[in-house]
Structure 1
Amino acid sequence: MATNDYESVLKMLEEITTNARQIQEQLLDEILRKNAETEYLQGFLHDQTDKQLFKKNVPIVTYDHIKPYIDRIANGKASSDILLVEPLIGFSLSSGTSGGQPKLIPITAESANVTAALGNLHLSLMIKHFGDLSQVGKRMELLFAKPDVETPCGLKASAVTTRAFKESSFQAILPKLYTSPYETIFCSDTKQSTYCQLLFGLIQRDEVVVIGSIFAATVLRGKISDWITDSGCRKAASLILKPNPKLADLLEDICSCKSWEGIVRKLWPRTKYIGTVCTGAMLQFTAELEFYCGGLPLVSGFYACSEGAIAINLEPLSKPSDVSYTILPNTVYYEFLPIKEDCVTDSQNQVQLHTSRHKDTETVDLVNVKPGQCYEILVTSPTGLYRYRVGDIIKVTGFHNNTPQFQFVGRQNVALGVDMERTSEADILKAVAEAKALLDPLGLILTEYTSYGDTSSTPGHYVIFWEIKPKEGNNNNKNGKELDPKVMEQCCSKMEDSLHFTYRMYRKENMIAALEIRVVKQGTFESLMDYFVTKGASLSQYKTPICIKSKEALNILDSRVIAKFFSPRTPIQDN
């Protein structure tokens, strides 16, 4: 991208964020005028396109409400114009790891262009802050594609990332700008794919200027395998692999060092930043990434979901905990449901959300949200979603021009509870962050965690699964003998002290039993990821669930537990 091109893109961003109100009004008007005669909107608006009538008559819905319409389209039993007039070119297939089940979201040519525009906007911001790195090196990104699913109507459903990788424009730039060959990205075996992508990245180590993946968890799962049987990967390897004893000796020396602190910079010395989402649920991985990356910036570039391109990070050099995303007012029409209960930011800039009921609350337009307030996002999109609950909770942190900026708080439908209390994703993240600091003096790192509410006995209690490994070297903590029981019990208590008032009150009254930490073997969360991938999740889009609801997933975790610890006291009541 030429300098004048990226500057024009950033100028356009300034214009749309300044004229947010007008753009939002025009977008809604265009969506309603185009689709007023569809079966869905006809039932509520009767050919009318008035905004106030739209908000009064069209219900706020979840995916479950519109799923019958989408299923009719996908199954070939109805034309797509029951939801929207514009022809569909396919369906976006969500990972299912956030909401529980994969979703089919209609895609049009227009929505595909909007997604591509988000990529150009992100690239323009990277050029502004780092220069045009495409002119000086390559990106080593762990990229994974899933096979398309052909629906009965003939349209294909695929992950957003897979659709992007199949575009001819991406394939044209791949050899020049990326270290991973096409065959490795589309390898059906994720372990072989990961191994080969790392191998090609190491062979081209002197060219690598950017490292990353969609989510931070994927960056940390880069491991090697000693067997490659995939024909595509073998063919790609045969074209680039040549004997290089000098490089092999160098890599062996680097990897055999006592500590892997800063190993990324040693292996890829020209790297300028790590590009991966480190906010929200991915914030748990920042400490480990910082350990391995030796001070490289961790860049969370944008905020997107299967339902649309939502926001961009205008300050990519911000620390992950400080990142605020700026909403893009020209992609979908937004409404916001205020969260009535407490939504506060602690000293570590992490948002705590206690409960989130907004019954009988009127929605707020984009330009009228208030800084410091938490909201649930609703979208009305050109792809047939009307007043649709994305399921994400955000906290407004300010404005860029006339467009709000926000931090991601958590998922609306992700809540841990064993009685009448409800503990949000943000509450769990904060409590884990407080507790894992106690591992530092032991030279240990918490690599991943998840949770579930155990109600198999009365009273029920919270179970937190932790995967832990030592900072020094690359040895596995396989048997848990390095763990100090007293410190681990303190971790349990620290988590309870950090949870919200309702939880602590219920614990005091013995309505909830002591919190339990179950330490699992190294590699457990990789096995959990493999399970979700076999169920249809794309590795590029995979996010470790903060709360486990699947019995099969729970069995994977429980079968690998190596130690259990309980809080020895009731939590402190005065914080």
Structure 2
Amino acid sequence: MAVDSSLSPLGPPACEKDAKALQFIEETTRNADPVQERVLAEILARNAETEYLKRYKLGGATDRETFKSKLPVISYEDLQPEIQRIANGDRSPILSAHPISEFLTSSGTSAGERKLMPTIQEELDRRQLLYSLLMPVMNLCVPGLDKGKGLYFLFVKSETKTPGGLLARPVLTSYYKSEHFKTRPYDPYNVYTSPNEAILCPDSFQSMYAQMLCGLLERNQVLRLGAVFASGLLRAIRFLQLNWQQLVNDIRTGTLNPKITEPNLKSCMDGILKPDRGAGGLRVETMRR
């Protein structure tokens, strides 16, 4: 695939894979209007027989003007009865021709109550595609991000089940617990110091402790440090201030903090830890700073 290097004004892409990602972004955003029309037509055609679209008598039309003239602008509350039916176990094509695989939940910060957003299995493919586009763009501004490892603090949150048996959980928890994430192919941008067992541990203390410990163990390979939200990085810094002595002890002795009790995580960390009594970079003076 020949890639026009002029499409990357900040500099050349790091590799052919990055070049394809950048070209996809360019082509999609440069022709946003026809792309949006095509996507809308695909959605309407696929879901023509759903209860919701049949209610507004589109008659199989897939063009934007008919869609705008027939369907009203709505809020979450307008769809809540249909969403509740799905949550209660109704598997008929109410809002989607494809089976609803789970519910994604909002944070609840806007109205004090988490909203349920039905999603389908193939949506994970789109999310994975979106996530894969981030680093090629960032690498144009900060070259070399494909080198070394990333100490990223990634966490799962609690999940529930609806009365009909569907999982309801935050979008990132859904992604981290999916096979898309757990069996993801090698990508130099996403080489993390944190093992999956640490990321997927439901106990927030144990998860943070293990991720911090793994990052310190591989400190000489860490090139990037971050979290999904800035608050997560602040929590990690405060956690290090409070727990550095035990972390240093674990690294020097090769023993694991007894507070780490989650079986999968404990087994994983026991296989990683080795005594490192010469860890000069972890002197008390350094940690106090």
Out of 123, 144, 157, the position equivalent to 2:135 is 123
Q: Is the 8 A contact 2:175 2:181 kept in 1?
A: yes
Indicate the residue corresponding to 2:279 in structure 1: 247
Looking at structure 2, the residues matched to 15 and 249 of structure 1 have their Cα atoms a distance apart, in angstroms, of: 47
Q: Which has the higher strand share?
A: 1
Alignment of 1:206 with 2:214, yes or no, is no
CA distance in 2, matches of 1:249, 1:46: 67
**Aligned residues of 1:93 and 1:158 also touching (Cα < 8 A):** yes
Matches within 5 A, 1:501-516: none
SS at match of 2:225: strand
Q: What is the deviation of 1:218?
A: 0.6
Secondary structure class of the residue paired with 2:202: coil
Residue 247 of structure 1: CA displacement? Answer: 1.8
SS of the residue 1:109 aligns to: coil
Alpha-carbon distance in 2 for matches of 1:173, 1:40: 35
Where structure 2 has 5 or more consecutive residues not aligned to the other structure, the ranges are: 1-12, 247-257
Count of paired positions:
255
Structure 1 residue 213 displacement after superposition: 1.1
Q: Identify which range, 214-223 or 91-100, moves more after superposition.
A: 91-100
Matches for 1:475-494 after TM superposition, within 5 Å: none
Aligned-partner residue type, residue 273 of structure 2: L
**Residues 336-379 of structure 1 deviation map (CA, whole Å, 9 limit, x = unaligned):** xxxxxxxxxxxxxxxxxxxxxxxxxxxxxxxxxxxxxxxxxxxx
- Which amino acid counterpart does residue 137 of structure 1 have in structure 2? G
Residue type matched to 1:197 in 2?
Q
| Residues 1:58 and 2:54 are matched in the alignment | no
Partner of 2:229: 215
Query: For the structure 1 residues 172 and 127, does the alpha-carbon distance in structure 2 shift closer, same or farther, using more than 3 Å as the test?
Result: farther
1:228 aligns with 2:259: yes
C-alpha displacement of 1:141: 0.8
Give how far 1:76 is off.
0.8
1:248 Cα shift? 6.0
Cα separation, 2, equivalents of 1:208 and 1:174: 20
Distance (Å, rounded) in 1 between the aligned partners of 2:139 and 2:208: 28
How far apart in 2 are the matches of 1:243 and 1:174? 31
CA distances 1:514-546 after superposition (whole Å, capped 9, x unpaired): xxxxxxxxxxxxxxxxxxxxxxxxxxxxxxxxx
**1:469-518 per-position Cα deviation (integer Å, ceiling 9, x unaligned):** xxxxxxxxxxxxxxxxxxxxxxxxxxxxxxxxxxxxxxxxxxxxxxxxxx
Preserved CA contact (<8 Å) 1:139 1:211: yes
Letter in 2 for 1:86: H
Look up the match of 1:425. none
Is the Cα contact below 8 Å between 1:45 and 1:54 reproduced in 2? no
Letter aligned with residue 116 of structure 1:
Q
CA distance in 1 between partners of 2:40 and 2:272 (Å): 51
Unaligned stretches of 5+ residues in structure 1: 258-575
Is 1:163 matched with 2:174? yes
SS at match of 1:69: helix
Residue 113 of structure 1: how far off its partner (Å): 1.4
Instruction: Report the counterpart of residue 22 of structure 1 in structure 2.
Output: 34
Question: TM-score scaled to structure 2, two decimals?
Answer: 0.78
CA deviation map 1:205-242 (0-9, x unaligned)? 11111111111011100104466243343333222222
DSSP 3-state at the match of 1:8: helix
What whole-Å deviation, never above 9, does each CA across 1:176-195 have from its counterpart, x for those lacking one?
81111222212222122212
User: Residues 228 and 234 of structure 1 are in contact (CA less than 8 Å); yes or no, is this contact kept in structure 2?
Assistant: no
- 1:139 alignment counterpart: 150
Q: What is the one-letter code of the residue matched to 1:39? A: E
CA contact (8 A) 1:94 1:104 kept: yes
Q: Find out whether 1:72 has 2:88 as its counterpart.
A: no
What percent identity do the matched residue pairs reach?
Answer: 36
Aligned Cα RMSD in Å? 2.6
| CA deviation after TM superposition for structure 1 residue 169, in Å | 4.5
**Runs of 4 or more consecutive aligned structure 1 residues displaced over 6 Å after TM superposition:** none
For 2:121 and 2:91, how far apart are their aligned partners in 1? 20
- Aligned match of 1:151: 162
- Give, in angstroms, the shift of residue 147 of structure 1: 4.5
SS at match of 1:106: strand
Contact 2:14–2:139 (8 Å) recurs in 1: no
Contact 2:124/2:180 (8 A) holds in 1: no
Alpha-carbon distance in structure 2 between the residues aligned to 1:251 and 1:199: 15
Residue number in structure 2 paired with 1:320: none
Distance in 1 (CA, whole Å) between partners of 2:183 and 2:67 is 44
More helix by share: 2
Q: Distance in 2 between matches of 1:162 and 1:41?
A: 30
1:94 aligned residue (92, 106, 109): 106
How much has 1:45 moved relative to structure 2? 3.0
The aligned amino acid for 1:186 is L
Residue 104 of structure 2 aligns to a residue whose secondary structure is: strand
Query: Is the 2:107–2:114 Cα contact (8 Å) retained in structure 1?
Result: yes
Structure 1 residues 64 and 56: alpha-carbon distance in aligned structure 2, compared to 1, 3 A threshold = same
SS in 2 for 1:209: strand
Deviation digits for residues 263-312 of structure 1 (CA, Å, limit 9, x no counterpart): xxxxxxxxxxxxxxxxxxxxxxxxxxxxxxxxxxxxxxxxxxxxxxxxxx
Asked if the contact 1:174/1:182 (under 8 Å) is kept, the reply is no
Report the counterpart of residue 211 of structure 2 in structure 1. 197
2: CA distance between counterparts of 1:193 and 1:217? 16
Corresponding residue for residue 422 of structure 1: none
- Work out the CA distance in 2 between the residues paired with 1:105 and 1:143: 22
Give the distance between the partners of 1:54 and 1:172, measured in 2 at CA: 39
Rounded Cα–Cα distance in structure 1 between residues aligned with 2:149 and 2:111: 35
Correspondence for 1:301: none
Report if aligned partners of 1:37, 1:47 keep a CA contact under 8 Å in 2. Answer: no
After superposition, the Cα gap between the structure-2 partners of 1:250 and 1:33, relative to the gap in structure 1 and judged at 3 Å, is: closer
Please name the residue that 1:113 is paired with: 125
Q: Is the 8 A contact 1:150 1:156 kept in 2?
A: yes
How far apart, in 1, do the equivalents of 2:181 and 2:143 lie? 21
Secondary structure of the residue aligned to 2:122 is helix
